[in-house]
A and B are shown apart, each in its own frame.
Chain A
């Protein structure tokens, strides 16, 4: 009897009293969500207005799709959209492959102490803000910085990495991967621990080398986790990393480095064009939403489990 009751409570079908407790625990989170997510949603209306702060959201003139028409008439909006997609896609790919690769390598290592220490070290950059790291990165990549000094040993002419459209995206993606791969590999390390050791045993008895074991046991076992992580991250594909790019870019590399978020910042905050800024933001949200739905569908088809 009591076993049944516990099961009921766990599935949320307990008595109303128990449910009340759970709901109360949920309440602060819901209130936060309401204040910081749902109420501000009303502000999206600005995208369809000629918004003037003095007149407010209800006094400003409605202009229909005009703001969107203005955005798509800008010569640079297509460029900004592509930049965002390219940078975000590259980040998604490398931020998946490298952590998986790294966690497999780390897993193959013997010695608990060494493993732990190494993991902690690569973990560290994740906790530094881009505002701080941007200074480090721009010094590393400056004309007389260590990277150019190193390349100079091989007779390479100094390159202005952060002011060169051929290099800017590479620097952005690689420094982002450098900062995040340690942190991103945590979840894969956890997934690796859950692989049944019996599989490896069977593999080695059958004569599979370490490499074969990785290819045929480790990677297939990691696959559901990888797909789930990619699906989760797809919703962020239009977030190419505002704080990183904002702190590293300059007008010369707008061509390859200007992304939707930096663009919205300049239009909306710097120039005070709230309506245009809101329209770009809304456009981005709609696309992200579609991508999440698509990714979830994809995850369900390929692995049989989705997020919702």
Chain B
């Protein structure tokens, strides 16, 4: 593996030398030689959020291919579509009179990022492109390769886009991440909020044992104890375990299904993120005093078998296996947990009923959750590109115009949405953080008869139909298709609970990495994981936590904390 990396490095270095020779061209005034009238027409188009250009404008870009596979369009009317001529590019041409020309194409993720890196290394970036991570954006800003978007955003961003950014709240706005020295250097793509984690329980087990849904830590403990000791599956055998736990215990909230961050946050500890302390300084959550209480609790739970004794050596598949085979009926996971095989398999084979519960809650009766990053990439414009506003206009069309458009032109992209949703030549949609909840509300309105089905967007429509199929099957006393089960449980049951029982969200004070973090972080994380696991499993006493904190600080933790605070101050 190492050799491959090295080979890649050499190959990219060689490619870099070659491309260095061809340098990017400077700025040209495209209006030269135009009549006043023509100039005015161009001007008007440039200053209208959805203005159509008088003549076809071509822009070069980096094209994000999806890993859906090239055959998703096979057999459809769109099978001859290409990355420069498909439903989306035709639509943009129709609406804005623009056409993409791909400087490179690559599958989203590492492949695409590498192409971007090479483009930056050769100082020759496409006119408009999407970059997926913050470090790359910083790199572009520092190398002075991209255009300042401040004014363009102010003048051209449509209301939907502006409101969507605002929905993330002060302090977590995606725009902050793209702002350098007061200048907006990119249009951030939004990352939808993933909401809070829930405690997922086997409802049928609760009913067998005549238990209430738990809410506090104590109630949670009582239910888990009953799940172990009182034979919840009624098979007369002592074969059930308590709560399954991810082998990394916490982190990457709320995406790590089976991680138990909620147990920590219920007791006021926020591991694995940067939080703001009482003095307004950023500190690392895992090394705070608050960690001791949950660690001691988990140690007791471990000794009493309330959490799975073998969690440290379990893989994800092992955990799914425990739940699928009916040995475990409790885990912590996000709203989309019903898509996990752990649930679908028990639904299909076992008559299991699952329920998501807001538990364990903090002092105020709500789950303490952690906000996710609000951005998921950036659209940047090459410095000197003659139509910089074009990027903003395409984002407007992606995020708003295309969704409202009922004309024939939009029909194609609606049909494509379910086929190849990510085929936009510039993959950037700006959505409000609670978009998942909004969609569920729209569907509920239709289901309750308060709105007409035609008000649903294409995406909502497909969830609505799924829910209908699920309910019909259940009513007929049959098992629904497991895909419909997952959609219904996630979109309708679980998100509804998210709306009804909102959580407290803590916004981490820092999401990115600093210089020293690069070289030292993995070593510090290793130290942290080792200590946490040893304390929980009882190999070390809770007093070990203090010496860990000391060691963590001296091994670079203090220096990184300083750097984080400096970075925030900037």
Contact = CB atoms under 8 A, between A and B. Distances in A.
Given A251-B526, A268-B2, A270-B522, A54 B121 contact: yes
Nearest to A270: B522
A157 interface: no
Interface string A248-283: 001110110010000011111111111111100100
B523 interface: yes
A76 B523 contact: yes
A163 B310 contact: yes
A37 B530 CA distance: 36
B489 to A, nearest CB: 30
B555 A56 contact: no
B239 to A, nearest CB: 10
B520 A70 contact: yes
Nearest to A162: B313
Interface in B391-431: none
A163 B120 CA distance: 45
B13 interface: yes
B31 interface: no
Interface string A10-53: 00000000000000000000000001110111111010000101
Nearest to A58: B13
B409 to A, nearest CB: 39
B211 interface: no
Contacts of A266: 522, 526
Contact of A40 (B10, B16, B247, B520): B10
A163 B311 CA distance: 10
Nearest to A269: B1
Nearest to A258: B526
Contacts, number: 123
B145 to A, nearest CB: 11
A36 B533 CA distance: 40
A143 B309 contact: yes
Interface residues of B, number: 41
B312 A250 contact: yes
B521 interface: yes
Contact of A165 (B114, B522, B526, B539): B539
Contacts of A174: none
Contacts of B192: none
A271 B313 contact: no
A252 B539 contact: yes
Interface string B246-274: 01100000000000000000000000000
A308 interface: no
Given A54-B120, A70-B520, A267-B522, A252 B530 contact: yes
A155 B506 CA distance: 50
Nearest to A139: B318
Interface in B119-146: 120-121, 136, 139
B310 A142 contact: yes
A271 B520 CA distance: 10
B300 to A, nearest CB: 18
Nearest to B16: A56
A278 B519 CA distance: 12
Interface of B: 1-3, 5-7, 9-10, 12-13, 16-17, 114, 117-118, 120-121, 136, 139, 247-248, 309-310, 312-313, 518-523, 526-527, 529-530, 533-534, 537, 539, 551, 555
Given A251-B247, A254-B530, 7 more contacts: A42-B10, A43-B5, A43-B9, A162-B313, A265-B1, A266-B522, A273-B518
8 contacts: A37-B3, A40-B3, A54-B121, A54-B136, A56-B9, A163-B537, A251-B526, A252-B312
- What 5 A-B pairs are tightest by C-beta distance, nearest first? A43-B6, A40-B6, A251-B529, A54-B117, A56-B13
